[in-house]
Amino acid sequence: MPTALGRGQCGGHISLFFTIEDAFDDPVAQGSRGAGLCLMDGVEAIARGEAGEGGLAVRFQDENYDSSMYEDVLGELVKEIPEIRSFDWELNIRMSLPASQGFGMSASGAIASAMSIQRAIGIPHEECLRRSFVIAHIVERRRSSGLGDTTALSSGGVERRIVAGSPFSGSLLDRGPGISEGWAAEVPLLLTWRERTGKHTSNYIDNADWKLKISDAGASAMEIIGSGQWNSDRWSELIERSLIFASESGLENDASRSEIINSANRAIIESGFSGRLTALLCMLGESVVIVPNDYQDKGEWVGDLSSTLESNGFSTFSSRISSLV
């Protein structure tokens, strides 16, 4: 049996506000409504398969992470495509951004790894893509590591999720129940965080009090954002509702978020960009995405602001909004 080789890549996702909708037993029907930003940068996965019995070795570039999510992805793939079990697999994972900081790295990694394994055995592109989103969504929900990231990433760009659930489902991988819409522009973004692991997403989405506060604030935001046409004319509205959600949900003052948002705002002022930029919390990390108030901004400010933040002990990463899928 020849060696099987495949590659998958998926950008990250920043959720700016959301609801928690997990009442259904079926993980395909669980998820969130909300809005956020899909990133060009995320996770790259290279799969290598040799004749074997379905074993898996995961190798991370640069950092060490828990490999159990990738084991879950392989397990779900085997259920759908039994021939995958006839290989022993090696996954090489390269992450552009840290895990557990609100950048959607678990969803991105699950999608990229599912793509790489399917491509290694020759699954057609569209089938591979849709199945990767379904499997990533199921794995995310069973692990309580995410709600709507995979649905958001299925549209790309500046996204809004107007119906909760997986973006694809069923044996034919048809649409739904989740629905996400996106519009694309190469908006420059600056991500910033402290070098420490944030709270796991499950600490919020599995907690009854947090679920109520988050969902109420998210539903309020979606009353505005969820209606009307979704295009670049809504950019300033998205920024405004994101700021309101952070306050109304209580997330702004939990963990170290107030510290990092205040530091980001001071850095914006010190760098001379007050009025041009806004710092938004990345849900549910302890991190911030700094966005231009004008989505057509070319991003000349990124270097100076990054230097200011790094001199104050923060890590930064420059990215852009992804294209539509």
pLDDT of residue 32: 98
Rounded Cα distance, 141 and 134, in Å: 11
pLDDT of residue 158: 98
- pLDDT tens digit string along 6-17? 999 999 999 999
- pLDDT tens digit string along 284-319? 889 999 999 999 999 999 999 999 999 999 999 999
- Render 190-240 in DSSP notation, one character per residue: EEEE-SS----THHHHT-HHHHHHHHHHHHHHHHHHTSS--SGGGHHHHHH
Pair (48, 175) in one structural domain: yes
Asked if residue 257 belongs to a domain, the reply is: yes
Q: In the chain, how many domains are there?
A: 2
Pair (209, 175) in one structural domain: no
Q: Model-level pTM? A: 0.96
Q: Under a CB-based contact definition with an 8 Å cutoff, are residues 186 and 298 in contact?
A: no
Domain stops at, among 128, 153, 180: 180
Domain stops at, among 180, 215, 237: 180
Q: Is 12 helix (H, G, I), strand (E, B) or coil?
A: strand
Pair (258, 124) in one structural domain: no
pLDDT of residue 67: 95
Higher pLDDT, 194 or 39: 39
Rounded Cα distance, 132 and 59, in Å: 20
Pair (81, 218) in one structural domain: no
Asked if residue 325 belongs to a domain, the reply is: no
pLDDT of residue 198: 55
- Range of 220's domain? 188-320
Of 197, 198, 183, 248, residue with least CA distance to 17: 248
CATH code of the domain containing 60: 3.30.230.10
DSSP conformation class of 145: S
pLDDT of residue 196: 66
Pair (176, 303) in one structural domain: no
CATH code of the domain containing 220: 3.30.70
Asked if residue 176 belongs to a domain, the reply is: yes
Pair (197, 287) in one structural domain: yes
> How many other β-carbons are positioned within 10 Å of the β-carbon of residue 299?
15
Domain stops at, among 180, 199, 214: 180
Q: Span 182-210, mean pLDDT?
A: 86
